[in-house]
Chains A and B, each alone.
Chain A
Amino acid sequence: MAAAEAAAGKTVMVVGIDDSEHSFYALQWTLLHFFSGRGLDPPFKLVVVHAKRSAPSVIGLAGPGGVDVLPYVESDLKRIAARVIEKAKELCTANSVADVEYEVVEGDSRNVLCEAVEKHHADMLVVGSHGYGAIKRTVLGSVSDYCAHHAHCSVMIVKKPKPKH
């Protein structure tokens, strides 16, 4: 079977990241196992997607004064998003991966990631196992669970190993 993946058939991987340790671990894991040591032309195309929460969703049903806080929350979220992408860029360069697309999309992570999969015709979606608000008792975060069920492509859930006692 000839190597058919050369030019057009690169496997497209969308990696969802947020501000959490778990998602950066997932990105690092992916880079390490699929991109390192492949030289300049790995057979994979990487798209890094960050779902930026919208300020109203963060403020929620705040009482009076919620409107005043809006611009501050908004700039805070923008700052977080920029930092996340910056960190992702650093990770990719550290692993010598140059051909990466970075996207920040506003919205709920579940929908953002599933839509990104459609948009980029991704073959695979990579997510960490927990994100914001990782509650210790849950074994799988809600976003990764949602994506495992609903994404239209294969889903890889990368778990950060717990340190052994």
Chain B
Amino acid sequence: MEEYRVESAASGEQTAEEGKGGDEGKKMKVMAGVDESEGSMHALCWALDHLFTATGGEVPDKTQALGRLILLHAQQPLYHFVHPMGPAVYATLTAMESMRNAQKENSIWVLERASQICIERLVKAETIIIDGDPKDVICQATEEMSIDLLIMGSRGLGKVKRAILGSVSDYCAHHAKCPILIVKPPKVHP
């Protein structure tokens, strides 16, 4: 039977997980891709509720039961938002600045929301922001960080009702080298 060390209140710092118990094989490095969409937040909630469960009694940090949780937010490169308008093909410097700031604020907001979800469920999480196209960023990050499980929502920003699987999650399902958990949005009960 594994023994869980009872930690004091979650400080947001990362603790060394490696020394816990003898069964190294089951501790996982889990990464959740988060963006502004409800789908990815729901995916995080679902995964935390269903997978990060304590085996017995209350543990202040449920991450102990399963492993490390990393929240990844991919920041779209800015040239996506700049389109040629009339004679001025390039956006002015100030416009770029303000867009960059807006984007940074957005990323911080996303990660704060995600962190809040984790804190509510007594799970410690680390947060990372990486610049780039979400598909590539996520797949690369899973490889570089030796992630054991990737958690994603099934539909994100492109809310096309008929698409049953969003493009980023579809891409990652095909190309990520690690196991991937795709969480579908909750069913709407008639």
Contact = CB atoms under 8 A, between A and B. Distances in A.
B28 A140 contact: no
Given A1-B122, A156-B181, A139 B50 contact: no
A153 interface: yes
Interface in B44-96: 46, 50-51, 53-58, 66
A3 interface: yes
B189 to A, nearest CB: 13
Interface string B139-166: 0000000001100000000000000110
A157 B50 CA distance: 16
A42 B184 contact: no
B175 interface: yes
Nearest to B53: A43
B184 A154 contact: yes
Given A1-B122, A154-B182, A37 B26 contact: yes
Which of under 10, 10 to 19, 20 to 34, or 35 or more describes the interface residues of B? 35 or more
Given A37-B23, A148-B165, A154 B54 contact: no
Given A33-B26, A150-B164, A152-B184, A42 B55 contact: yes
A140 B23 contact: no
A48 to B, nearest CB: 17
Most chain-A CB neighbours within 10 Å: which of B26, B175, B179? B179
B13 interface: no
A102 interface: no
Interface in A78-98: none
10 contacts: A3-B58, A32-B26, A33-B149, A140-B173, A148-B173, A149-B165, A151-B184, A154-B46, A154-B181, A159-B178
